[in-house]
Structure 1
Amino acid sequence: MEFSGQVPRRRLGAQGPQVPVFGLGSWNTWDRMETDDAVELVRRAVGHGVNLFDVAHYNFGPHAENAVTDVIFGEVVREAGLSRDDYLLCGKLWLWDYPGSSFADQIDVSLERVGTDHADFVVAGDFVGDVDVRQVVTDVSELVRAGWFTAWGVNNWSAGDLRIAREFAAAEGMTPPVFAQLKYSLARRSVPEGEPYGELFADGLGLQASDVFEGGILVGKLHPQRKIGADPGGIRERIREAYPLVERVARKFEATPAQLAVAFCLTHPAAGNVLFGASRLSQLEDNLGALVLLERHGDELRREVAELWLDRDVVRPEASWGTDAPGEE
């Protein structure tokens, strides 16, 4: 399925920004591309209205990789001739070394590496250890007031901790988190579709789906050679084994596995945006075709992929990804 034209935009939460339904991630992406190819991909993406880029400084906790993907991204957008008003930048504030590594210091370094003076919004995560949620809200709100960015969300937080953050922000007149960036895919649904997050979504929280391809496994790269995301619930081998079913369902709709994976995420009623990595122009174009699949068969997708929900009764719906198995504390 081929898509032409501009991608639609949705609001990322009732109080969040208007964003394109697709955004391009940066982890292990820009540093795997030749500069000319990356420039062409960015130009083509922005030409379709895909102008949201999730860019982080990966040098904290398990991401202490000394990666330069953010530096490369900054060089690529400049080489592509984009002005800062041409794209939306979503940054990261890491909790791994917080508060020892302050958010103010983190955002200053991160933006300097990209080569800009502000982000449009940021994500605070991953949630680890004994984090003072109220202090996180206070510190992030200070950065909003200082003009570093205008909105924020979280990733890998439990629904309970996120509820505390939103209630505290409301009570204190601070800036609340307006969206959650969550692992969400054909195989991983327990947290985004569970009742605890469901209550937050009903209250206006937006969903930003990430890791939608399981590091490539859900699109046929069954044994990725690069580092990929965590495996809550230990179901990755089951996901590999289920890939033939992904192929069969995709063929039924005359679509590709990537299009099926992306279109499924957009059927979530709270989904404002789907993040994916694309290191080739052909991948971007393939993923854009998910919008055609969604338009033609959106009402049928969930029924056809019901068997692919593999973390049901394995990952607790109320959990953060650090406490993912039933009975774990």
Structure 2
Amino acid sequence: MEYRRLGNTGLKVSALSYGAWTTFKTQADLKQAKEMIRACVDAGVNFFDNAEVYADGEAEVIMGQAIKELGLKRSDLVLSTKIFWGGPGPNDRGLSRKHVIEGTQAALSRLQTSYVDLLFCHRPDPDTPIEETVRAMNHCLDRGWALYWGTSEWSAEQIKQARAIAVRLGLQPPVMEQPEYNLFERHKVESDYAPLYDSEPGLGLTVWSPLASGILTGKYGGGGGGTAAPAGSRLSMEEHKAKLDSRAHHIAAAERLKPLAAELGCSPAQLALAWTLTNPRVSTTITGASKVEQVRDNMGALAVLPKLTPQLVQRLEHEIAQALVEAEQAK
């Protein structure tokens, strides 16, 4: 396993990590979760991502219990959670001081830990002043409930505002961001955040959906340019079915990965995951899996990374871009 610094911090996270989104409770029970976490740890993964909203908190419950039953050493792990959607009540969501503090305490209870290493604001909250959120996140740090705080899917301008407020108040600014990043979704990571990486305090990226909800695995191609969702796949789930037809152009473009993957002797998933890690700004790529076999296949991306020369990366990106243009023209 390769370990990378989280931005400019001294914390090191595994280049490939594992997240519980849409998996724990929904697709995997405690027994399966233990098997996948064990496979991740055996591969050198140390970062495990979660959120209060995942399976309405049950994903945190399963992860916490799995870690306990596996007897894993807490200091060997980097655990995260994200606060925003905590329940149906008017104060159970958002980034008010009340919800940040109560949501964090509830998450720690579900995870059976006294602290998380990373605490994220899961989305920006237009109803709460950023200063209130900055103060609340620092309260969590001061109490030892979290070691670092950051954001998820915030704009560069919102992160700049949070940083400026923290500096003015003598508080800790956000040091990491969790954006979507894959071959189809690149602008925020590669352009919008560009001014933030080298300025204090830097910005570590824990990127999500590197396989674009599984589309970049190539498993959704239905043949003849159609689409199909294999049983048990993410886009076969009721809450995600609507995405299938709306992303037909992405599904068609993903077919372009197959010849390149065959050339490199890897799976399309491994190729797409390795591509995210060619970006040195990415601290860790969060993988998702509902089966141990998928975990092991994902971990194989590290062996592909050294094969991705600048020329190969350029070729890969050109193939995807060309496929998207052709799909747009065919509409």
**Displacement of 1:255:** 1.5
* TM superposition shift of 1:105: 0.1
Specify whether residues 93 and 66 from structure 1 end up closer, same or farther in structure 2 by C-alpha distance, changes over 3 A only.
closer
Which residue in 1 is equivalent to 2:139?
142
Q: Are 1:202 and 2:198 an aligned pair?
A: yes
Greater shift, 300-309 or 264-273, is seen at 300-309
What residue number does 1:125 align with? 122
TM-score, reference length from structure 2: 0.83
Post-superposition offset of 1:156: 0.8
**In structure 1, what residue type is equivalent to 2:126?**
G
| Residue among 182, 193, 196 paired with 2:190 | 193
The amino acid of 2:45's aligned partner reads V
Quote the RMSD (CA, aligned, Å): 2.6
Distance across 2 between alignment mates of 1:288 and 1:247: 18
Cα distance change, pair 15–170 in 1 and its aligned pair in 2 (3 A): farther
Q: 1:138 to 1:230 in 2, by over 3 A?
A: farther
Q: How far does residue 151 in structure 1 lie from its aligned partner after superposition?
A: 0.5
Asked whether the equivalents of residues 186 and 305 of structure 1 are also in contact (C-alpha less than 8 Å), the reply is no
Q: Please list, as runs of the form range in 1=range in 2, the aligned pairs for 1:83-122 lying within 5 A after superposition.
A: 83-94=73-84, 96-99=93-96, 101-122=98-119
Tell me how far apart the structure 2 counterparts of residues 230 and 9 of structure 1 sit (CA, whole Å): 37
Deviates more, 1:151-160 or 1:14-23: 14-23
Q: Please, which runs of 5 or more residues in structure 2 have no aligned partner?
A: 86-92, 221-228, 230-234, 326-331
Larger radius of gyration: 2
2:129 & 2:241 partners in 1: Cα distance?
25
Larger helix percent: 2
* Map of 1:30 onto structure 2: 24
- Maintained 8 Å contact 1:126/1:156: yes
- For residue 42 of structure 2, what is the aligned residue in structure 1? 47
Query: 1:309–1:106: structure 2 CA closer, same or farther, 3 Å change rule?
Result: farther
From the superposition, tell whether residues 192 and 179 of structure 1 become closer, same or farther in structure 2 (CA, over 3 Å): same
- Equivalent position to 2:264, from 248, 253, 266: 253
**How far apart in 1 are the matches of 2:95 and 2:66?**
30
Instruction: Tell me which residue corresponds to 1:320.
Output: none
Q: For 1:12-31, what aligned pairs fall within 5 Å after superposition?
A: 12-15=6-9, 17-31=11-25
Structure number with the bigger relative contact order (C-alpha 8 A, sep ≥ 6) is 1
- 2:78, 2:116 within 8 Å by CA — same for their partners in 1? yes
**Is this contact kept in 1: 2:209–2:287, CA < 8 A?**
yes
Aligned partners of 1:149 and 1:277: how far apart in 2?
Answer: 24
Greater mean deviation of Cα atoms: 115-124 or 77-86: 77-86
Q: Equivalent residue for 1:219?
A: 217
2:274 is equivalent to residue 284 of structure 1: no
Match of 1:138, SS state, is helix
Greater shift in the superposed pair: 239-248 or 151-160:
239-248
Q: Any conservation in 1 of the 2:211–2:217 contact (CA below 8 Å)?
A: yes
In structure 1, the gaps of 5 or more residues are 1-6, 314-329
What does 1:152-167 align with in structure 2 at a 5 Å threshold?
152-167=149-164
Q: Does 1:275 align with 2:269?
A: no
Moved more, 219-228 or 152-161: 219-228
Quote the sequence identity (%). 30
- Is the Cα–Cα contact under 8 Å of residues 97 and 133 in structure 2 kept in the other structure? no
Partners of 2:296 and 2:46 in 1: CA distance: 14
